Structure 1
Amino acid sequence: MATFNLSRFAFARKRRQLTKKELAEMAGVAQATLTRIDTGITSAPSNETVAALAKALGYPVDFFYLDDVDELDIRQVSFRSLKSMTAKQTEAALASGALGCIFNDWISERFNLPAPNLPELRVEDPVSSASAIRRHWGIGFRPIPNLVKLLESKGVRIFTLAEGKDVDAFSFWRDGVPFMFLNTLKSPERSRFDAAHELGHLLMHVHGYMDGRDVEREADLFASHFLVPREDLIAHLPSAPSLKQVISSKHRWGISVAALARSAKDSGLLSDWHYRELCKQIAVAGYRTSEPNSIERESSVLWRKVLEELWKDRHTKETIAQKLSLPLDEINSLLKGILSDGSRTQRYVQQPPLRVI
C-alpha cells in the first residue's frame, strides 16, 4: 500500500502559499488534524482527509503518494530581487523551479534536447565575459533577434514565473543543465534584459564562486554589454543622442530606452550631464513604467516544437499533467508566458467533448 508522503504535502502547501490555518479552513479539516499530519504524528491520514486536502490544494491525490520531490536549495539559485520577496514567495518560486525540473526530466526521456553549451567564465569580468560568450557562440557583434531562441539552442531550459510582479527572474544549474525562469508580466524589453542578466549568473556565478562580489551589478553589466556590444552601438547610435533618437534606435537591440541610455553612457556616447538630462526626460515621459514602442515578446521555439511532436501522439498538456501527477495549472504556469499566444497553443490543451443538449 502506498504511503502518504509528508514532504510532498509540504511542497504543495508552499507552492500554493497557504498557511496551515488557511488550508485547514479551505479543506474543511480541523486544524488539530492538519497539525498532526504536518508533524508526522498521523502518518496515514484517511482517504477522505487526503482527498479534501488535495482538492483544497488543487493537486491530484496521486501526487501525495509518490517519492520525494527533488527540491531546490536557495543557495544554488540566483534570485534577481531576493530582498523584496516574502518567504512565501521565495518558497513558491523554488517549488516552481523544482516542477520545471520534473517537466524537463519527463521531456528529456522522450526527446534529444539541445545539450548545454555554456563555458565556465568564473574568473572573467562582466565585459570580458560578454565578449567571450559571443565569440564562443560565433555571433560577433550582431544584435540578437530572439534571445530566448538563442539560449534554448545552447541548452538553457526556459520557463515562466507565475508568482506575480514582485518575483523576479532566477536561474540555476541542475545535473549539468542550466535552467532559467522569467517573469513575463514585465515588458518584453525587461524580460529580455532579465534573460541576459540570468545568463550572466549562469556563466559567471556558479555557486561557491561569489564571496565578496557584487553579483547583481556584475550580471547587469554583462547583460548590457552582451545585448549591446560597444562596437555595434557606436556604429549605429550618434554621439549625444536625443530621447527621440534613443527611442527610434532601441528596436535594434531589443532593450528599454532607459537601458539603452545607460549603455550609451557606459560606451562614452553620453556625458554624465547629458545622461542625467536624458534620464529626467525618460522619467517625465513615464517611460520607466510604460515602455514606448514596445517590441514583440520573445517566445519559446523549443517547447512549441516539443508540444507539436507530442500532439502527433495525442499528448496534450493535460495528459502530460496526468502522467506527472500534477495539476494542469502548474504545467500552464511553466509554459504559458513563454509560448507564443493562447490561440496558437490552445490545441495542446485537451478540450471537453461537445454534447447534444
Structure 2
Amino acid sequence: MQNLEKFNRHMMVMGRESRGLTQSGLADKLGVQQGTVSKVEAGVLDATDSFIEELSESLEYLPDFFLQTGRPYGMPPFHYRRRKKLGVKPLTKMIAEMNIRRIHLQILLRSSNDKTNRYIPEIDRDEYRGGHGQGFTIENAARHLREHWMLPDGPIENVVDLIEDNGGVIIPCDFNSNLIDAVSQRIDGMPVLFFVNLDAPADRMRHTLVHELAHMVLHTTTLLDDSEMEEEADHFAGAFLLPASGVRKHLSKFDVRQAALLKKHWKTSMASIAMRADRLGFLTPYQKKSFFIQMGKLGYRKSEPHEPPKERPKRIWDLIQYHLNDLGYSKTELSTALALPVHRFEEMYPAPPPDETQPAQQLKHGLRVIK
C-alpha cells in the first residue's frame, strides 16, 4: 500500500521532537544519513512505506500518526520571555507534546457529547464598558469575569473545575522544566486549552491557571509588549483570586502570620497575598521587603506551609472513560485511534490519582474517577 500522498512531514517533525531527538539522532536510530531525514522533513524526498514503518518503530507511534492531516501550532506570544530562557531543545519537545495532545483531544471530541453553553470570554479593552459605565482596568476586567460566571466574593473552591465547567480543557503535560508551569491557547474549532505541569504546588498552579486565563481573556484581541502582558496577567490573577471587596478587610494588619491564615482561607500562596496587599496599598516598600526577608528566613520562599489540596483535570479523563465505557472501545482500539502503541497510551493517559478536593467513587471496573 502506498502512503506517499498521505504522508505529513510536519507529523514526522512533531514525532521526532516529542521524543527529544535531533535529525541526526533520528538518522542514527533509522540507520540512514541525516540528509535523508532532512530531505523527508523538508518535503524534498518522498517517504516510502518501508521508511514510514521504520519511523513508526523508532519513534513509537503507529504508522497512521504520520498520515494525519493538520499543522502544528507554536507558542503564543505572551510566553516569549520565558521560552527564551528555556532553550531550543526542551522548548521544541514541549511544543511537540502540546500539539500531539491537542490532536488527541480533537479525535476524542469527534464522538463525544462534551459540550457546554458556558464559555471563556474575550475582553476587547477598546470596546469595554463595565458596570455603571466604568472603563477598562485590570481590576474591572477580573471583577467582570467573576460576575459573568456568577462567583461570590469569597475564595474559589476549585480553579480547575471552574475553568473546565466554563468550557476550557486542562491537559496535564510533562514540561521537564520549572520555567513554564502552563501554556494556554485559543484555536478555532477547539475549546480553550490549558496545558499544565501538575507537579507544581497546588497554590502555585491555581495562580498559574488564572494567569493563563487572563491571557485568554485579555490578550487574544489586544497584543502588548511581552513584559506588559505578563504584568497584566499577574495583576488579573491576584484580582480574580483575591477580589478587593472580599480580601481588603483582612489586610490592615498584614504580616507573615496573617498571610498564613489568609492562605488557608483563600488557597492562594502567601507570596501572592503579599503582592495583592501591596497592589491594594496596604504595604509600604519597607514592609514588603521585610515580609519577603522573613519568608526567606523561614524557608517559605521555597516551600510554603498550608498547601491546599491538589486539583485534578477531569474532562480529558472523562472523554477517555466515555470511549472505553460508553462507546465500547478496548484500550487497544482507543490507542489505535490515537495512533499510539498501548504502552505509550498508558504513559500519556494514566488513571489520575483522586482529586484531593472531592470524594472519589469506586466503580465496578475498579477505576477511581471523580464526579
Q: TM-score range by the shorter chain?
A: 0.7 to 0.9
Call closer, same or farther: CA 1:332–1:158 in 2, change over 3 Å: farther
1:172-191 matched pairs, under 5 angstroms: 172-175=185-188, 177-191=191-205
Match of 1:355 in 2: none
Call closer, same or farther: CA 1:45–1:83 in 2, change over 3 Å: same
**1:57 pairs with one of 50, 59, 69:** 59
1:310 aligns to 2:301 (yes or no):
no
1:22 aligns to 2:25 (yes or no):
yes
Match of 1:354 in 2: none
Match of 1:353 in 2: none
Q: Which amino acid aligns with 2:243?
A: P
Deviates more, 1:37-46 or 1:209-218: 37-46
How far, CA to CA, are the matches of 1:334 and 1:72 in structure 2?
20
Match of 1:270 in 2: 283
SS in 2 for 1:306: helix
**1:7 pairs with one of 10, 26, 30:** 10
Aligned length: 344
Deviations 1:8-44 (A, max 9, x none): 2112112222111111223333434434433444313
**2:305 pairs with one of 276, 292, 309:** 292
Deviates more, 1:10-19 or 1:102-111: 102-111
Match of 2:73 in 1: 72
How far, CA to CA, are the matches of 1:250 and 1:229 in structure 2?
14
Per the TM alignment, residue 337 of structure 1 is displaced from its structure 2 partner at its CA by: 9.8
Deviates more, 1:148-157 or 1:270-279: 270-279
1:152-163 matched pairs, under 5 angstroms: 152-163=164-175
Match of 1:141 in 2: 153
Match of 2:131 in 1: none
1:107 aligns to 2:108 (yes or no):
yes
Is the 8 Å Cα contact of residues 79 and 171 (structure 1) preserved in structure 2? Answer: no
- TM-score normalised per structure 2: 0.82
Call closer, same or farther: CA 1:163–1:56 in 2, change over 3 Å: farther
Q: Which amino acid aligns with 1:233?
A: V
Match of 1:227 in 2: 241
Unaligned runs of 5+ in 2: 126-135
How far, CA to CA, are the matches of 1:195 and 1:285 in structure 2?
27
- TM-score normalised per structure 1: 0.85
Deviates more, 1:294-303 or 1:312-321: 312-321
Is the 8 Å Cα contact of residues 185 and 194 (structure 2) preserved in structure 1? Answer: yes
Per the TM alignment, residue 250 of structure 1 is displaced from its structure 2 partner at its CA by: 0.3
SS in 1 for 2:93: helix
Is the 8 Å Cα contact of residues 14 and 95 (structure 1) preserved in structure 2? Answer: yes
